[in-house]
């Protein structure tokens, strides 16, 4: 046998991540890609698999240790002739398991990547489960359904809490704190006519549970208003003409960079809209930075790219950065860092159409701005009706944090700022 020192592989930007589970003990025989340890930060659950088949030797890591890429974990006596898997270059997001009671499909073969990140996990319940014996899938599902793992008696090997235990608790068993949700009836559509089953894209498999968790956990209210963008659109066109004429590096200027600047100015005037509810849900965390998420329509589904420090950038810089991020999103090349850290999100359907919609709050954010297509409308100026370009804006917000009057004032301030961008300088 050949001795292999198993270390923490590349886990992206995560550092000092605590070890919450050690799934093996000295002397255990393991197969290649079998999970050995589980790490969990406040943003991701990560599994470290065996690089090859063999027998576990000395384990140097302990539960509770905080580790980073390259930290030694244990020794593995690899079986002679076993192929050592190449270390991954990047942690990848894994979709949450289904939560219905329909028969589960056969488990897939172990994934090739050695670390599976749940950065897109739909958790809104930030509770310390470090002493609970449960795997990443069970933890993700518990957070999605707002279930306290400490109240569940595991039925798995050595008392391990399984996905099945979580589902039972969600239906009212096991002493869980989360409310049970009724299952959608299972229908055999084939008996009514021909069907075709097409797998969801990876993006939709990841984002779907997160959207569902936000919709279930956040009491949504949507407030709509109209902004007069007549002058702003003329200004935007002049910027766009100059951008397209840039011979060195032509780019485009849409309405989004201007809306981002107006949003930040409004968020500074109403800081509650840039805050987050604390894990205990008894206080607000005011974030003194302004990172704006922008929903990007891609062939595989919606992706939110995050533009950092919008308050420190000009419209032209934002336009260039947005163009680059949007291109990366459509090519599926956004890094985890480029999709994390937003304090407020803008979802624009302006290029498609619509009159209004209810965007889902991207928890733990407390508000999101929806934008639809602008339209010409007669507006009374006190003496006569004038043709003005009006932009419908839709603000969805978390009613636990924001009340209706505050939302109405926020939207009026935002609409006034959009109508006269000189207010951004105030």
CATH code of the domain in which 349 resides: 3.30.559.10
Q: 281 and 417 share a domain?
A: yes
| Positions of the chain with pLDDT under 70 | 1, 13, 41-45, 80-131, 156-158, 171-181
**Length of the chain, please?**
426
Q: 244 and 109 share a domain?
A: no
Residue 120 domain-assigned (yes or no) = yes
Per DSSP (E only), the strands in 270-374 are 275-277, 284-286, 292-298, 301-307, 344-348, 367-371
The pTM (predicted TM-score) of the whole model is 0.61
Residue 176 domain-assigned (yes or no) = no
Q: Is cis: bond before 249, omega within 30 of 0?
A: no
Contact 197, 176 (CB under 8 A): no
Q: 257 and 156 share a domain?
A: no
Strand partners for 56? 76
Domain that holds residue 330: 218-425
pLDDT tens for residues 357-413? 999 999 999 999 999 999 999 999 999 999 999 999 999 999 999 999 999 999 999
Cβ–Cβ contacts within 10 Å for residue 225, how many? 17
Residue 209 domain-assigned (yes or no) = no
Q: 303 and 407 share a domain?
A: yes
Query: How many angstroms separate the Cα of 66 from the Cα of each of 69, 73, 117, 133, 236?
Result: 11, 11, 17, 18, 49
**How high is the pLDDT of residue 225?**
97
Residue 199 domain-assigned (yes or no) = no
- Looking at 170, 198, 228, the residue that finishes a domain is 170
Q: 139 and 249 share a domain?
A: no
Which residues, 6 or more positions from 108, have their beta carbon under 8 angstroms from its beta carbon? none
Residue 384 domain-assigned (yes or no) = yes
Residue 276 domain-assigned (yes or no) = yes
Strand order in the sheet with 66-67: 45-49, 35-40, 17-22, 66-67
Q: Which are the catalytic amino acids? A: 399
Q: 413 and 307 share a domain?
A: yes
Residue 404 domain-assigned (yes or no) = yes
* Token pair 């890591």 in the structure block, residue: 61
- Looking at 170, 199, 227, the residue that finishes a domain is 170
**How high is the pLDDT of residue 129?**
60
Contact 1, 77 (CB under 8 A): yes
**How high is the pLDDT of residue 254?**
94
**How high is the pLDDT of residue 99?**
34
How many structural domains comprise the chain? 2
Residue 186 domain-assigned (yes or no) = no
- Closest-CA residue to 48 (of 74, 84, 4, 9): 9
Measure the CA–CA gap between 184 and 172, rounded to whole angstroms: 17
CATH number, domain of 90, equals 2.40.50.100
Q: 244 and 315 share a domain?
A: yes
- Looking at 170, 194, 226, the residue that finishes a domain is 170
Q: 250 and 353 share a domain?
A: yes
**How high is the pLDDT of residue 59?**
93
């Amino acid at each position: 046998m050949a001795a292999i020192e198993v270390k923490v592989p590349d886990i992206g930007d995560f550092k000092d991540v605590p070890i919450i589970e050690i799934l093996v003990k000295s002397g255990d025989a393991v197969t290649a890609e079998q999970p050995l340890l589980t790490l969990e930060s406040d943003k991701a659950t990560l599994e470290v698999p065996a690089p090859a088949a063999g027998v576990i030797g000395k384990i140097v890591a302990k539960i509770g240790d905080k580790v980073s890429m390259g930290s030694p974990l244990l020794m593995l006596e690899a079986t002679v002739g076993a192929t050592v898997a190449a270390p991954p270059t990047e942690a990848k997001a894994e979709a949450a398991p289904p939560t219905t009671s329909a028969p589960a499909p056969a488990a897939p073969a172990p994934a090739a990547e050695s670390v599976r990140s749940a950065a897109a996990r739909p958790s809104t319940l930030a509770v310390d489960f470090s002493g609970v014996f449960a795997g990443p899938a069970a933890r993700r599902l518990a957070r999605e359904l707002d279930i306290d793992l400490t109240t569940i008696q595991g039925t798995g090997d050595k008392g391990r809490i399984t996905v099945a235990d979580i589902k039972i608790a969600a239906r009212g068993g096991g002493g869980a704190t989360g409310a049970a949700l009724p299952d959608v009836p299972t229908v055999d559509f084939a008996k009514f006519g021909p069907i075709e089953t097409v797998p969801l894209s990876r993006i939709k498999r990841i984002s779907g549970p997160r959207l569902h968790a936000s919709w279930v956990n956040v009491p949504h209210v949507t407030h709509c208003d109209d902004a007069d963008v007549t002058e702003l659109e003329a200004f935007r066109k002049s910027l766009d003409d100059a951008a397209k004429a840039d011979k060195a590096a032509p780019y485009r200027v849409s309405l989004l960079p201007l809306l981002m600047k107006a949003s930040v100015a409004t968020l500074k005037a109403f800081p509650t809209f840039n805050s987050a509810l604390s894990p205990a849900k008894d206080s607000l965390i005011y974030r003194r930075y302004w990172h704006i998420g922008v929903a990007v329509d891609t062939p595989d589904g919606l992706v939110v790219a995050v533009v950092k420090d919008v308050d420190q950038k000009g419209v032209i810089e934002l336009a260039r950065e947005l163009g680059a991020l949007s291109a990366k999103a459509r090519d599926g090349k956004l890094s985890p860092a480029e999709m994390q850290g937003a304090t407020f999100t803008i979802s624009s359907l302006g290029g498609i159409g619509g009159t209004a919609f209810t965007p889902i709050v991207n928890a733990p954010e407390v508000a999101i701005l929806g934008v639809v297509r602008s339209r010409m409308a007669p507006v009374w100026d006190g003496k006569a009706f004038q043709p003005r370009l009006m932009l419908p804006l839709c603000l969805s917000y978390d009613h636990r944090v924001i009340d209706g009057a505050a939302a109405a004032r926020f939207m009026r301030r935002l609409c006034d700022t959009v109508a006269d961008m000189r207010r951004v300088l105030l």
